[in-house]
Structure 1
Amino acid sequence: MTGIISNLFEEQSNLVKEAREEIRRVYLSDDRPWVIGYSGGKDSTVVVQLIFDTLSKMPENELHKKVYIISSDTLVETPLIIQSINTTLNRVENKALKLGLPIETHKVQPVIEQSFWVNIIGRGYPSPNQTFRWCTDRLKIDPANRFVKDKVDTFGEVIMVLGVREKESRTRANVIKSHSVTGKELMRHSTLSNAFVYAPIKKFDLDDVWNYLLNNESPWGDDNYELYQLYSESNSGECPLVIDKTVKESAGSCGNSRFGCWVCTVVNEDKALTGFIQNGHDWMKPLLVFRNWLTNIRDDRTMRMKHRTNGQTYFLPVKTKVIDGIEKIIIDKKGSREKDYIPLDNFSIIEKKELKSYIKEHNINLSEGYDPLILIRDEDGNLNRFGLGGYTLEARKEILTRLLKLQKQLKHPDIENYQLISELELKEIRKHWFKAGDFEDGLPEITSKILDYSIDFEQDDRLVFSQEELNQLELTCQQEGLDFNLVKKLLMIEKDYSGLKVKRGLLEDLGSALKQDYLHL
């Protein structure tokens, strides 16, 4: 037994020694700067620590190029994780400066226009799931790529250094293999030109990672045992910094047993948040409650428009099942959530060719939350329901109201007045609400009612109607047989172009509004 343990330690020592030698050799081989992706987890911590250690032992004249350490802040990171990342980045930069190492740390964030809350609450995007995982590109890949492209523009080529391992999974091993060149340490980056990928720990397994961290002190003063404790408390793994759109699926969902966004709706259960709460971080319970609510409302048809944002309508075939002698419509739910069943007799069945007149006769607004219990019979005799689009404006207002109330009640143990959504995001959301027809300008009113402080919203000279004026406009549209939402959209388009000498695009925007599918069923 003693011999076996000795062999294991010797193999570990050799593996680390080889990694350090390779890092030094690759670093000295050219002048291309390195960009290290740091997620705050075990694998990326090993990479940063190995590189920091290696550079600190090299003579000053060999430290000839920059090493940039970037970490992705999606603006909705799990609070404990982003707090740990911020602390580490500060310590790394200060220690590197003290030792004269060419290391800089940077956080990359999504542009405000593409933040999670601007997309959900502003544009009305349905919360992400496995089939519509829009968040990875906007929150993680694009911010990292902007940083890399900036360095490519400056230096011509860069090398991305990532904590990916062949033994992490078969999928990851195949991805690494497909991008590798025989006999070379560097891999091709599949989507960024003039960028290459270096994986210094690709031969490490999970035991190698933890053995290294728990037997080698952090050179900048972190406690690697605290990182181990963080993993133990979260019941989860690491959320990698993803920089390649073609391999984002292999990275997995960061909400599925990984460090990632506290609001991740891709998975049914957020094991990281649950794990933290079970290990004593009770102050995070309201986050989990909100996250679960946001996950569930995705299936709530009363929260969703019955057409896409561009006005396109589509139909979904329905299935029926006889239960206790009653034929019922099967309502599927995403993931493993239980299906719902509604008696077929609850629905009105409408022939597709008669749908437009039925909607007009019953004054059905497909942009609102009301869910008409109708089934559409197509030319082949099959029954369908309206497919769902984004969240309605009323649903977006409810999400924002609940989020602001959560922000007000949340008691972060280390940060006073902890913000879940920024003022910049609120101002951007306000612009999208205008475009969606919120002529009452409801966002400033919502924030002033909930928050203990006032936000300096700029006076907007766009169309702002009183509720009485809007009611009169809606009544006029009904009397004239006009679509109220279409009239509001046309007014907003005209206002956007007013005052411009060159109104290029005006006719196209008007035409697009007039050709929306739901107007021509």
Structure 2
Amino acid sequence: MTINVIKKQSDNNFMEWILDPESKLKQFQDIKTLMKNEYLNDPYDWVVAFSSGKDSTLVLKLVWEMLSELTQDQRHKKIHVISSDTTVETNKLTSFLHKSLKMIAVNGAELGIEVHLVKPRLIQRYFRHVIGLGVIPPAPGKGFQWCTDRLKIAPLNSKMTEILKQQPVIIPEPEYNHRLTLLLGVRLDESIKRAASIKRHTSNDFFGEHDYIPNARVFHAVRDISTDDTWNFLRYKSKELPWGMPIEKLEAMYGGSNIKECPVIRSKKELNKSCGNTRTGCWVCLLGGRKDKMLQELIDGGDESVTYLADWKEFLFDVTFDCRYKDPIKGIKEIEKRVQKHSNKGFLDNPALWHEDEFNRYIDDYKAYERATKGNEKGEYDPGKFSFEMRRMLLEKLFYAQEMAGYKLISDKEVLLIIQEWSNEGYNVALEELKPINHHYDGAVVLKRDWTINEKETTNKNAIFFVEVPLNMPASELAVYHKERQRLTGKSIFCFYSHADFSHAKMVYNKATFLVCKKDILTLEEATSYVYEWLYLEGHITIGMDGKSFTKMTKEAKNAALKHLMIDTLGGAIKSLDERIGSLKNQSVNLKTLSDEEIAKLSRRWSLLQKWIRIEKENHIEQNEKINNKLTVNNKKVEYDYNSVYLTKDGQLVFTF
């Protein structure tokens, strides 16, 4: 539908209100009559979910007028007006909501109206999740919309449950399936999705069951009212709402016509629907995209403070898709517990395994070795939460935005909780160390599910390097060591894990591939040096005999470096040996054609490869005649493992390596 068509419809609706107001008012009078009948016949309290937007304002205005038409004796119960302050709404909207609630509380008391303003608990709040815990915020096509439940639904439902417990016990019980009624300002005219949701959740034209609160029903009183009729009714013959708020103040909250209203309470089925560019959309919300229409209209209207909020949000949007600021380690607490209980050392690390049965133990260790795997169970790129480095940057940039805006964006208690959450992870930062810093962003590095660079979405102009580091550590120990480096240095380099498996030589070790993209790193050698410094040297500062500070390698870093050097040095030899053994497997050798020198050479080779032969799991001996473990060829005796040699039908001996 084009803008011109919408404008024409609005103009026509306005003329209908001018020429025939009685017919337009009838639909609202019918709603008030329905409300009155339900109110008088229902012994239990009502709850109005109030966001201070046009739709919830329409519901409260109708309820207010209905109550005003009743006698004092008929007003036999409370009307609870509940609003939610998510703590991440714009300052303008929060101020408007608080002023509205004060007016409603004062002027609605004689009508039995009681006001409740709820907030999420500290542990439910947005910044505690994103900055404290590193939870990735909901974004278009990315992640579960966890914030709606924690910031709005949970606090509101907690208050509703409290009100429900206060309802009277009536004997005999009335013929109702509910003990509380919730009035929502949702309309079919809002969107196709919203209309479908209303129809799914209503048992008849106006009433349905509440998704979360048992014994509560939902009353969709204004479901059939159009947007134009909503505004024209609110403006009809009055410049003020019943509780005293000027209507022009409400209109100013909407700005442009593209801004829609985000409802106070949503059903479970709607949790993954976008709030997006809504009038009551939180200023941190990414679901509407990088540019926020609501914030931009506030800026265009002269509120310069919102510029800093918009900048912070754009920064958050950008880093949300950047792999460099994701923690590659998931479930570290469980991994650390497992490593403390079981140390899965390799054969070469444990001298106790050097005994006469060393080769059987070696093959057992090869089978049991904890191999590191890439990504999720499908091997796909599946990043974890924000790295600590990014979380600290987000908080420092938030402090900067708060300082420049001139009003609180985060409470002191939430800041302290964030610092405590960091401490719980092993990152100890004092409040005094955190300063307002306007961190800038150099462009995203985005990966596809198959771990290749997403050229379309990657906006970073710096060179991107992949540095592979072999480490002779089982997967759990590797993850624990990586986490120790993060805690020690306060930063992280994104990487993915994998392993090198030499099945013929029965050797296996893990490796980490680091992604490096920084302005001052221009070559692979520089990227490798940067990774090695972070892995082994950086972070542990000590004071020397001369009183000067210097970087000292930790005990864990020294052990890790030695394991790396061992594998890095032997890697070529292991690969060559694995290829040689593989090439000899199932290779037929006719001993009768060999000279004494060739036999001696074969014997020496046989001796050298005994370790690898004897640990082969499968020897491919099928339906062939096994022979004794001693063989005379050209009057020379050759010893062999009977499991590795067999006689073919044409009389040829076959060695299986």
Return the TM-score normalized by structure 1. Answer: 0.70
Overall identity of the aligned pairs, in %: 29
Checking the alignment, whether the CA contact within 8 Å between 1:235 and 1:275 is kept in structure 2 is no
Give the equivalent residue in structure 1 for 2:600.
none
Cα deviations by residue, 1:141-172 (Å, 9 ceiling, x for unpaired): 11111111111222272111110112222222
Cα deviations by residue, 1:207-254 (Å, 9 ceiling, x for unpaired): 1101111114311111112212321258411121015323334xx433
Q: Does 1:227 align with 2:250?
A: yes
Give the equivalent residue in structure 2 for 1:186.
207
Q: Does 1:169 align with 2:191?
A: yes
Give the equivalent residue in structure 2 for 1:424.
413
Cα deviations by residue, 1:380-421 (Å, 9 ceiling, x for unpaired): xx9x6642111111111111111112111213xxxxxx2111
Give the equivalent residue in structure 1 for 2:23.
11
Checking the alignment, whether the CA contact within 8 Å between 2:17 and 2:24 is kept in structure 1 is no
How many aligned positions are there? 399
**Which amino acid letter does the alignment assign opposite residue 421 of structure 2?**
H
Give the equivalent residue in structure 1 for 2:433.
446
Counterpart CA distance in 1 for 2:47 and 2:414 is: 29
Q: Does 1:109 align with 2:132?
A: no
Cα deviations by residue, 1:275-321 (Å, 9 ceiling, x for unpaired): 111122222111111111111111122211113355799xxxxxxxx
Counterpart CA distance in 1 for 2:248 and 2:157 is: 32
Which of 299, 308, 317 matches 1:277?
Answer: 299
- Decide whether aligned partners of structure 1 residues 377 and 298 sit closer, same or farther in structure 2, where only a CA change above 3 A counts: closer
Q: Does 1:211 align with 2:236?
A: no
Counterpart CA distance in 1 for 2:118 and 2:257 is: 24
- Decide whether aligned partners of structure 1 residues 469 and 12 sit closer, same or farther in structure 2, where only a CA change above 3 A counts: farther
Instruction: Describe the SS at the equivalent of 1:18.
Output: helix
Give the equivalent residue in structure 2 for 1:92.
104
Counterpart CA distance in 2 for 1:378 and 1:12 is: 58
Which of 114, 119, 124 matches 2:129?
Answer: 119
- Decide whether aligned partners of structure 1 residues 377 and 186 sit closer, same or farther in structure 2, where only a CA change above 3 A counts: closer
Cα deviations by residue, 1:74-110 (Å, 9 ceiling, x for unpaired): 110111111110000000101113xx12111111111
Give the equivalent residue in structure 1 for 2:34.
22
Checking the alignment, whether the CA contact within 8 Å between 1:38 and 1:69 is kept in structure 2 is yes
Checking the alignment, whether the CA contact within 8 Å between 1:214 and 1:225 is kept in structure 2 is no
Instruction: Describe the SS at the equivalent of 2:554.
Output: helix
Cα deviations by residue, 1:436-458 (Å, 9 ceiling, x for unpaired): 111xx3141234x459xxxxxxx
**Which amino acid letter does the alignment assign opposite residue 429 of structure 2?**
G
Q: Does 1:388 align with 2:383?
A: yes
Cα deviations by residue, 1:178-206 (Å, 9 ceiling, x for unpaired): 22223x74311133211110121112011
Q: CA deviation at 1:430?
A: 1.6
Pairwise mapping of residues 424-503 of structure 1 onto structure 2 (< 5 A)?
Answer: 424-438=413-427, 441-447=428-434, 449-450=435-436, 468=541, 475-481=554-560
Checking the alignment, whether the CA contact within 8 Å between 1:167 and 1:204 is kept in structure 2 is yes
Unaligned runs of 5+ in 1: 314-352, 360-374, 412-417, 452-462, 483-521
Instruction: Describe the SS at the equivalent of 1:106.
Output: strand
Checking the alignment, whether the CA contact within 8 Å between 1:141 and 1:245 is kept in structure 2 is no
Instruction: Describe the SS at the equivalent of 2:312.
Output: helix
Pairwise mapping of residues 37-436 of structure 1 onto structure 2 (< 5 A)?
Answer: 37-97=49-109, 100-130=110-140, 131-155=143-167, 157-182=179-204, 185-215=206-236, 216=238, 217-233=240-256, 235-249=258-272, 252-268=273-289, 269-309=291-331, 386-411=381-406, 418-436=407-425
- Decide whether aligned partners of structure 1 residues 436 and 204 sit closer, same or farther in structure 2, where only a CA change above 3 A counts: same
Q: CA deviation at 1:127?
A: 2.0
Checking the alignment, whether the CA contact within 8 Å between 1:401 and 1:446 is kept in structure 2 is no
Instruction: Describe the SS at the equivalent of 1:442.
Output: coil
Q: CA deviation at 1:468?
A: 4.1
- Decide whether aligned partners of structure 1 residues 117 and 290 sit closer, same or farther in structure 2, where only a CA change above 3 A counts: same
Q: CA deviation at 1:37?
A: 0.7
Whose relative contact order is higher, 1 or 2, with alpha carbons under 8 Å and at least 6 apart?
1
- Runs of 4+ residues deviating >6 angstroms: 356-359, 463-467, 469-474
Counterpart CA distance in 2 for 1:40 and 1:254 is: 16
Counterpart CA distance in 2 for 1:255 and 1:3 is: 32
Counterpart CA distance in 2 for 1:422 and 1:377 is: 37
Instruction: Describe the SS at the equivalent of 1:166.
Output: coil
Counterpart CA distance in 2 for 1:289 and 1:4 is: 44
Counterpart CA distance in 1 for 2:412 and 2:266 is: 28
Counterpart CA distance in 2 for 1:106 and 1:428 is: 26
Q: CA deviation at 1:132?
A: 2.2
Counterpart CA distance in 1 for 2:144 and 2:73 is: 50
- Decide whether aligned partners of structure 1 residues 10 and 408 sit closer, same or farther in structure 2, where only a CA change above 3 A counts: same
Counterpart CA distance in 2 for 1:425 and 1:241 is: 23
Counterpart CA distance in 1 for 2:375 and 2:56 is: 55
- Decide whether aligned partners of structure 1 residues 22 and 434 sit closer, same or farther in structure 2, where only a CA change above 3 A counts: same
Checking the alignment, whether the CA contact within 8 Å between 2:540 and 2:553 is kept in structure 1 is no
- Decide whether aligned partners of structure 1 residues 469 and 266 sit closer, same or farther in structure 2, where only a CA change above 3 A counts: farther
Counterpart CA distance in 1 for 2:181 and 2:36 is: 14
Cα deviations by residue, 1:121-155 (Å, 9 ceiling, x for unpaired): 11111122243211111111111111111112222
- Decide whether aligned partners of structure 1 residues 112 and 226 sit closer, same or farther in structure 2, where only a CA change above 3 A counts: same
Counterpart CA distance in 2 for 1:203 and 1:299 is: 40
Instruction: Describe the SS at the equivalent of 1:61.
Output: coil
What is the root-mean-square deviation in Å for CA atoms of aligned residues? 3.4
**Which amino acid letter does the alignment assign opposite residue 475 of structure 1?**
T
Q: CA deviation at 1:61?
A: 0.6
Give the equivalent residue in structure 2 for 1:349.
none
Deviates more, 1:149-158 or 1:392-401: 149-158
Counterpart CA distance in 1 for 2:274 and 2:15 is: 41
Unaligned runs of 5+ in 2: 1-11, 169-178, 336-365, 438-486, 490-538, 544-549, 562-657
**Which amino acid letter does the alignment assign opposite residue 479 of structure 1?**
K
Checking the alignment, whether the CA contact within 8 Å between 1:39 and 1:238 is kept in structure 2 is no
